Amino acid sequence: MNIIFVGRSHGKSKTLQLGNKHLVLITMLMGSLLFAIASAGYHLKGLLVDRTGVDTTLDAETILVWKNEIKAQRTDVESLKRSAHEKVDALTLTMGNMQARLLRLDALGQRLTEVAKLKNGEFNFTKSPALGGPVEQNLGESYILPGLAENIERIENQITDVEQQLEVIDSLFVSRNIQKELFIAGRPITWGWMSSAFGYRTDPFTGKRAWHGGVDFAGKEDSDIIAVASGVITWSGDRYGYGNLIEINHGGGYTTRYAHCKELFAKVGDIVAKGQVLAAMGSTGRSTGPHVHYEVRKNGKGIDPKKYIYRASR
């Protein structure tokens, strides 16, 4: 095999004659060079994979898998965001309910304060409770969402407990107030004087000794006749000997009667309060002039009203 070399400057040429040995040697050199190039490329690829952890020779299938994974992660994030919003909305609703209940507790507490006549400022439900204390070095951790939910539940349980206690106290006050209203005490008039006592007396019509089952209070015609205690009207109308009569049942077997009224202002079934005006003073029935015949009865039997007239109200 001959190789001809042509020079640039003089245009002369030289011929190099190669034998079979030379050709084999050149072939081996070319093969070694190609193997070295391939080895270098494989080694470089290995370095890239080792350093990044990812094969840089990506194909379309791998890229598609990655895209699907990213899409799934985005879907999970959106689901978590929606769940978080729902939890926040639920907590907001719970907080609103708790605020309404706290307002109710404040109103109930204020009512109990007024009923109990606590005027020294010991309880004040119109203002937030005073809080304070020194700052500690080791502060507690801030509340996170799960902890906040647990604390809201704990506070709600405390509110329920306080509500129950206040309702018990309120019922006790109401019961005490009812007993006070049912307590028979005082005179059945706002103006006038006692003109006849309970017991035997001279009958004003016959002049003979007769039993008087109540006390009489004389006054001006049309003067107010009032209830000496709360109760239910069981009679309102004319009754033999009494004229226009009002009878009140106070419970516990006690009733009171108000007779000789000119005009009646309450009817059967009415619930009347202590001090409420029942009728106008008159002289109906067996009467000699404007007055009210007042009776106190226990289990249907008349008793002396004197001790009820002069005893102090509760």
Which of these, 233, 232, 260, 231, lies nearest to 245 by C-alpha position?
260
Residue 172: other Cβ atoms inside 10 A: 11
Which one is predicted more confidently, 2 or 285? 285
What percent of the chain is modeled with pLDDT above 90?
Answer: 31
pLDDT of residue 147: 61
pLDDT, one tens digit per residue, over 221-243 is 999 999 999 889 999 999 999 99
Q: Which helix (H) or strand (E) holds 114?
A: helix 60-115
pLDDT of residue 143: 45
The full DSSP string for 264-310 is E---TT-EE-TT-EEEEEB--SS-SSSEEEEEEEETTEEE-THHHHH
Cβ contacts of 32-36, under 8 Å, gap ≥ 24 = none
- Give the pLDDT band (50/70/90) at residue 283: very high
Cα gap 83→77, rounded to integer Å? 10
Cα gap 297→308, rounded to integer Å? 11
Q: Which two tokens stand for residue 299?
A: 């289990």
pLDDT of residue 240: 92
Q: Which two tokens stand for residue 81?
A: 């965001």
- Rg of the chain over CA atoms, in angstroms? 54
Q: Residue 121 burial (CB < 10 Å; 0-12/13-18/19+)?
A: exposed
Cα gap 210→229, rounded to integer Å? 29
Residue 241 gets which letter from DSSP? T
The full DSSP string for 134-184 is PPPSSPPPPP-HHHHHHHHHHHHHHHHHHHHHHHHHHHHHHHHHHHHHHS-
The vertex-11 CA angle with 6 and 13, nearest 5°, equals: 35
- Give the pLDDT band (50/70/90) at residue 142: very low
* pLDDT above 50 (res 35): yes
**55, 62, 63, 159, 294 from 59: Cα distances, Å:** 10, 6, 7, 64, 112
Which one is predicted more confidently, 38 or 257? 257
Cα gap 196→304, rounded to integer Å? 12
* pLDDT above 60 (res 97): yes
